[in-house]
Amino acid sequence: MSDIHETRRIRLVAVGDELLTPAGDPRALGWLGRVLSKTPLEGLHLQPHVLAVPGEGVEALSKRWEAEASPRFGPVAGEDSAERHLLVALNDSDLRTASSARARLNLANILDRASQQGIRCFVVGPVPGLDSEHNRRVAELNRAYQDVAERRGHPYVDAFTPLADHAQWREDLTANEGQPGQAAFGLIAWLVLHRGWFEWLDVEQATP
């Protein structure tokens, strides 16, 4: 009897804006790089593909994700197939051009279309800025996105609520002209890792 265990293969496609990249991070990891570095790979072949477009909101994302993700996911069957996971990282861009109701609809379209294809989704919500008035609108948008994801049974990371008044988050944004730096990326990564990441990938969390 063979003791060889088959290695799981996962192709992970991440879509969103420039916050998915390590821009502004002296360690060149960003939050996603930190999360991936904490993901156990024993018995797992994980292929991450980051498809980021600067300033892109969920409406534009809903129109392009499928065409760009499909060739990264590869075939759905056969020896070259793999499990398909879609990470959707949201922002507040749609507040400039659309209502939260419209943004809800666009996120719902992404998640429903992905589910129809057997793609497992993980949603990370928008982060707060430094403007309190704008943050009130982001809070409403965050609640709308969370409702859409949770109604469909997809994990949702509320990155807004715990960071809105977080001193280290605000200090880092202030020091970096309103953009996340090393400390802020670390805070986002911590939230993602503790809000369902390991369960989504069906891997055991590494022991510290």
Q: What digits encode the pLDDT tens for the residues 11-35? A: 999 999 999 999 999 999 999 999 9
Strand ranges inside the chain, DSSP E = 8-16, 44-52, 83-89, 120-124, 156-157
Give residue limits of the domains in the chain. 8-201
pLDDT reading at 94 higher than 60: yes
**Is residue 159 a contact partner of residue 189, using CB atoms and an 8 Å limit?**
no
- The span from the CA of 25 to the CA of 8, in Å, is 31
Residue 205: band (very low, low, confident or very high) from pLDDT cuts 50, 70, 90: confident
Q: Does domain 8-201 fall into CATH 3.40.50.10490?
A: no
At 109-151, the pLDDT tens digits run 999 999 999 999 999 999 999 999 999 999 999 999 999 999 9
DSSP string, 141-163: HHHHHHHHHHHTT--EE--STTT
What average pLDDT does range 34-63 have in this prediction?
A: 96
